[in-house]
């Protein structure tokens, strides 16, 4: 958190890049597969859509050893406290990908039993739509997260949002996040 | 109108660990100390299944559990656990490594699908039902469609029936391959995980070609199937069959030929036929005890009486039998698929009844009647006459049944799904009794629960 | 259905060819026990239905419709037949006997009916909620319990301000 306050010279700039590279090159997911999306997450870790080439095939069973929580599946009312407890047990820095529409917004189950969006329980960094998202979509979400980690956009986000609110007269135009633009193949 | 509330804002409190434990505690549903448990429930948790004859009352002192309760430990397994096959929570009373009592706490994936089904039309119903048993979506949709069709009284064309059989058997293969993968992973063979998922990708690629989706395909609908098979499907299916059949012999060598696998699976989690019938178990669990009950053979639906296949039956009712049954069921499914490829007739892939099936897109521009039918079908849906029906088919896990009550409107009045895994999980206390902690993993694995259909 | 004596409750034929019996609450467990002794080895499913708001169901004469129905599906492996028993359960006295002493596999199914409908089962070893959290109020699958929809843009939400 304190790294971007330094005025970067040759040495500190490079150290920050090194730290960010290390963080994004070995993001270890916590095993939090809930429903159908979990099967697609397993398929992403399988041989055809290998996650291991990004250093991510080790699904840590203990949240203490994990960096990334991919919430794969619908979160029911009974599961929400467990989700929060697992998230709290993870060490900083940690990220959350909300995989699938059920985790992002409640999906097709707009009813009493499903939490309408896992961002009501944990802060989410990347949302991956789909029901279930095919492994390619999940890979895109993971690569977007890697971009966010690489550019440090996560830390810069509050300032970016504060800047956009100043210009209230112009019509709102959607800002494509740098990370998504860079993470999307041409 | 009452709406239950669970304030999720309270959930994020990070205070002392006491607050978090209180939040995730399920109070009455958890396992209690022996002194606080009723004798009938205590007996059930220790694995007692068969009922005493009339007139004999269970005496609390006669339940003999080897260790006094101050020398044992109640631990929690799940719901977030690598080996519980989803969000299943098990509370175990342990004497060292030996399991004395088991209680399963479910509901962590409860989605209110039966309530949602009352809000969706019959055309949309398949999308809801398909997500229950997410490893074999076609079977869910098939049971639902068959229930609706028997209430509607509509006949499905021949080609649609054979296409449904093809997709059902391919689904059975892919579900059993996922089972082989996760079972291998649980026992420690990560290469089995890779192999199983790799084979499954071939089947999923075919599903994507036919239905548009890899999983949760909304393909089998009341009246037939959603789309015809793509051109060249016979070659695709033949490649799938040949490849997977050859690879089942590789898995045989990898797992069955391995002493460690035998020691972990043989004799573990044994079940007798009487106990299985008393508990209502179906599928590979029942067949492993020696009862040759397979709905495709006993009460055939679709055209299963026109194809030749064997019903695989075990002898000892242990884990190894269930593994062998599933492996051989993959081979039997390949056999059925090959026969379906030979016998597939030409014809319509969905019924031509205009009240049930939407017209082809091209005709909507030409015919006003077609446009009106399309509009009515997708806004209101077709009406099903009032009645009730129970339809059951054989899913890879057992008997999946749909109890459908209709009220002459376009939405089901009540849809109850009899999920095989929900009933099969009742065998957990029985199978784990007296086993080791490490056996709990293989027992859960061979019961093959899919929590989506357990909790619905 | 080869029972020792002909059933005293009305029986119709269902859509799949199975027999559907409408049995009174008092005779429920006895009827199930008789069916089990007649060869129905497995109880496949016990579920509940809430008929509040149903336009009118087809009940035989002598069966008074109540708000809830408990439906037990039985299966005979030897005869390859199914049968169904429907029991009317009034809202005011929402309890019925449990089949646990007859078929131990009904334990989880009856807990689910209790959790989602509020129907008590007398003789059940552990009648607690199974799918909903333990402190949930209300029984979700009843017809007077709302779906719990959150207003969604373009569908339920109020228009732009």
The candidate with the shortest Cα–Cα distance to C59, out of C116, C10, C106, C102, is C10
Is the residue at A84 inside a domain? yes
Which residues face B398 on adjacent strands? B395
Instruction: Quote the pTM value.
Output: 0.87
Could A111 and B116 be called an inter-chain contact, meaning their C-beta atoms sit closer than 8 Å?
yes
Residues A61, A31 contacting (CB under 8 angstroms): yes
Is the residue at A5 inside a domain? no
Is the residue at A34 inside a domain? yes
Percent of chain A with pLDDT over 90: 15
* Chain C interface includes A78 (CB < 8 A): yes
Residue pLDDT, tens place only, C88-100: 998 888 899 999 8
Residue pLDDT, tens place only, B104-133: 899 899 988 999 999 889 988 889 999 999
Spatial separation of the C-alpha atoms in residues B334 and B237, rounded to whole Å? 10
* Chain C interface includes A112 (CB < 8 A): yes
Residues B255, B195 contacting (CB under 8 angstroms): no
Residues B136, B449 contacting (CB under 8 angstroms): no
Chain C: residue whose CA lies nearest to B408:
C55
Could A113 and C150 be called an inter-chain contact, meaning their C-beta atoms sit closer than 8 Å?
no
- Domains, chain B, with CATH or none: 113-353+390-418 (1.10.645.10)
Using the 8-state DSSP alphabet, how is residue B444 labeled?
H
Could B111 and A76 be called an inter-chain contact, meaning their C-beta atoms sit closer than 8 Å?
yes
3-state secondary structure of B219: coil
Could C152 and A111 be called an inter-chain contact, meaning their C-beta atoms sit closer than 8 Å?
no
Of B8, B112, B216, Cβ closest to residue A36: B216
* Cβ within 8 Å of A, B 129-168: 131, 134-135
Residue pLDDT, tens place only, B216-274: 888 998 888 988 899 899 999 999 999 999 999 988 888 888 888 888 888 888 888 88
Q: Give chain C positions within 8 Å (CB) of B387.
A: 15, 58
Q: Which has more confidence, A169 or C112?
A: C112
Q: Which has more confidence, B51 or B112?
A: B112
* Chain C interface includes B394 (CB < 8 A): no
Spatial separation of the C-alpha atoms in residues B163 and B158, rounded to whole Å? 9
Region A63-84 average pLDDT: 90
Band the pLDDT of C61: cuts 50, 70, 90: confident
The candidate with the shortest Cα–Cα distance to B249, out of B261, B260, B257, is B257
- Domains, chain C, with CATH or none: 1-161 (3.30.460.80)
Could A110 and C133 be called an inter-chain contact, meaning their C-beta atoms sit closer than 8 Å?
no
* Cβ within 8 Å of C, B 78-107: 106-107
Find all residues with CB under 8 Å of A6, minimum gap 6, and list them. A12
Q: Is the per-residue pLDDT at A167 higher than 50? A: no
Q: Which has more confidence, C2 or A83?
A: A83
The candidate with the shortest Cα–Cα distance to A143, out of A48, A53, A62, A72, is A53
Tally of structural domains, chain A: 1
Query: Which alpha helices (H) appear in chain A, and where do they start and end?
Result: 10-25, 36-45, 80-89, 101-105, 135-151, 153-164, 178-183
Q: Give chain A positions within 8 Å (CB) of B108.
A: 34, 76, 78-79, 82
Q: Give chain C positions within 8 Å (CB) of A78.
A: 131-133
Residues B341, B334 contacting (CB under 8 angstroms): no
Residue B332: what pLDDT?
93
Question: A72: domain range?
Answer: 12-163+174-183
Using the 8-state DSSP alphabet, how is residue C142 labeled?
S
* Cβ within 8 Å of A, B 248-287: none
Could B216 and A85 be called an inter-chain contact, meaning their C-beta atoms sit closer than 8 Å?
no
Q: Cα B378 to chain center, whole Å?
A: 29
Residue A25: what pLDDT?
86
Q: Is the per-residue pLDDT at C101 higher than 90? A: no
> Number of CB pairs < 8 Å for B and C?
151
Is the residue at A99 inside a domain? yes
Which residues face A60 on adjacent strands? A30
Give me B289's structure tokens.
Answer: 């005890």
Region B263-289 average pLDDT: 89
3-state secondary structure of B398: strand
Q: Is the ipTM here above 0.95?
A: no
Residue B375: what pLDDT?
86
Find all residues with CB under 8 Å of A91, minimum gap 6, and list them. A64, A67
Is the residue at A60 inside a domain? yes
On the CB side of B390, CA atoms within 13 Å amount to 27
Give me A182's structure tokens.
Answer: 């860079």
CATH of the domain at A142: 3.40.50.12280
Chains linked to B by 3 or more Cβ pairs within 8 Å: A, C
Could C133 and A77 be called an inter-chain contact, meaning their C-beta atoms sit closer than 8 Å?
yes
Q: C102 burial class (0-12, 13-18, 19+ CB within 10 angstroms)? A: buried
Is the residue at A132 inside a domain? yes
Using the 8-state DSSP alphabet, how is residue B256 labeled?
I
* Cβ within 8 Å of A, B 60-79: 79
Distances (CA, A) of B128 to A108, A129, B141: 8, 18, 9
Is the residue at A157 inside a domain? yes
Chain A: residue whose CA lies nearest to C135:
A78
Q: In what order do the strands lie in the sheet with C81-89?
A: C11-13, C19-23, C81-89, C68-76, C42-50
Neighbours of C157 (CB within 10 A): 10
Region C16-36 average pLDDT: 88
């Amino acid at each position: 958190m304190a790294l971007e306050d330094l005025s970067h010279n040759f040495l500190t700039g490079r150290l920050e890049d090194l730290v960010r590279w290390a963080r994004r090159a070995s993001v270890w997911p916590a095993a939090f597969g809930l429903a159908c999306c979990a099967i697609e997450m397993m398929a992403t870790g399988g041989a055809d859509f290998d996650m291991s080439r990004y250093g991510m095939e080790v699904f840590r069973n203990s949240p203490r050893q994990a960096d990334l929580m991919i919430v794969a599946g619908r979160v029911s009312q009974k599961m929400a406290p467990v989700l929060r407890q697992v998230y709290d047990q993870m060490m900083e820095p940690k990220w959350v990908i909300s995989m699938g529409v059920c985790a992002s917004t409640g999906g097709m189950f707009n009813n009493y039993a499903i939490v309408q969006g896992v961002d009501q329980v944990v802060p989410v960094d990347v949302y991956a739509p789909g029901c279930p998202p095919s492994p390619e979509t999940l890979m895109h979400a993971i690569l977007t997260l890697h971009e966010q980690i690489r550019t440090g956009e996560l830390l810069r986000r509050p300032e970016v949002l504060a800047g956009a609110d100043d210009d209230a007269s112009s019509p709102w135009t959607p800002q494509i996040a740098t990370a998504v633009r860079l993470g999307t193949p041409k | 109108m009452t709406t239950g509330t669970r304030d999720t804002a309270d959930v994020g409190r990070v205070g002392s660990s006491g607050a978090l434990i209180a939040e995730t505690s399920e109070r009455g549903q958890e396992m209690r100390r022996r002194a606080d448990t009723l004798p009938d429930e205590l007996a059930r948790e220790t694995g007692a299944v068969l009922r005493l004859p009339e007139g004999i009352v269970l005496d609390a002192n006669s339940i003999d559990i080897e260790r006094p309760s101050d020398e044992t430990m109640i631990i929690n397994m799940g719901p977030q656990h690598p080996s519980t096959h989803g969000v299943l929570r098990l509370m175990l009373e342990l004497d060292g490594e030996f399991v004395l009592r088991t209680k399963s706490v479910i509901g962590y994936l409860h989605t209110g699908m039966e309530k949602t089904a009352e809000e969706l039309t019959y055309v949309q119903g398949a999308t809801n039902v398909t997500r229950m048993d997410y490893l074999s979506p076609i079977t869910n949709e098939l049971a639902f469609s068959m229930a609706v069709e028997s209430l509607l009284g509509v006949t499905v064309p021949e080609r649609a029936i054979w296409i449904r059989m093809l997709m059902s058997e391919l689904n059975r293969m892919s579900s059993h391959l996922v089972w082989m993968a996760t079972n291998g992973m649980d026992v420690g063979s990560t290469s089995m995980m890779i192999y199983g998922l790799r084979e499954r990708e071939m089947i999923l690629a075919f599903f994507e070609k036919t239905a548009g989706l890899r999983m949760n395909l909304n393909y089998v609908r009341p009246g037939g199937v959603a789309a015809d098979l793509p051109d060249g499907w016979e070659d695709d299916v033949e490649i799938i069959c040949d490849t997977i059949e050859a690879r089942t012999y590789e898995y045989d060598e990898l797992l069955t030929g391995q002493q460690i696998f035998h020691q972990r699976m043989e004799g573990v989690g044994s079940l007798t036929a009487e106990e299985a019938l008393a508990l209502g178990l179906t599928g590979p669990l029942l067949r492993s005890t020696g009862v040759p009950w397979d709905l495709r053979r006993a009460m055939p639906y679709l055209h299963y009486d026109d194809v030749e296949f064997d019903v695989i039956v075990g002898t000892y009712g242990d884990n190894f039998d269930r593994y062998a049954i599933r492996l051989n069921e993959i081979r039997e499914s390949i056999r059925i698929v090959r026969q379906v490829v030979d016998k597939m007739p030409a014809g319509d892939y969905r019924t031509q009844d205009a009240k049930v099936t939407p017209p082809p897109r091209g005709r909507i521009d030409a015919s006003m009647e077609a446009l009106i039918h399309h509009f009515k079908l997708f806004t209101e849906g077709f009406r099903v006459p009032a009645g009730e029906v129970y339809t059951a088919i054989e899913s890879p896990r057992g008997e999946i049944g749909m109890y459908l009550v209709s009220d002459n409107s376009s939405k089901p009045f009540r849809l109850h799904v009899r999920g095989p895994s929900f009933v099969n999980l009742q065998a957990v206390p029985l199978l784990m009794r007296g086993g080791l902690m490490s056996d709990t993993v293989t027992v859960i694995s061979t019961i093959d629960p899919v929590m989506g259909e357990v909790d619905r | 259905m080869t029972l020792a004596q002909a059933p005293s409750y009305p029986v119709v034929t269902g859509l799949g060819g199975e027999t559907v019996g409408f049995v009174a609450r008092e005779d429920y467990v006895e009827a199930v026990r008789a069916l089990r002794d007649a060869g129905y080895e497995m109880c496949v499913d016990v579920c509940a239905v809430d008929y509040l708001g149903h336009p009118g169901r087809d009940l035989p004469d002598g069966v008074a419709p109540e708000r809830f129905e408990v439906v037990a599906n039985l299966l005979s492996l030897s005869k390859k037949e199914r049968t169904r028993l429907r029991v009317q359960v009034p809202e005011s006295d929402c309890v019925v006997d449990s089949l646990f002493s007859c078929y131990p596999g009904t334990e989880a199914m009856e807990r689910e009916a209790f959790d989602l409908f509020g129907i008590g089962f007398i003789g059940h070893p552990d009648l607690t909620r199974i799918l909903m959290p333990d402190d949930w109020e209300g029984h979700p699958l009843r017809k007077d319990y709302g779906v719990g929809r959150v207003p969604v843009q373009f569908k339920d939400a109020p228009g732009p301000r």
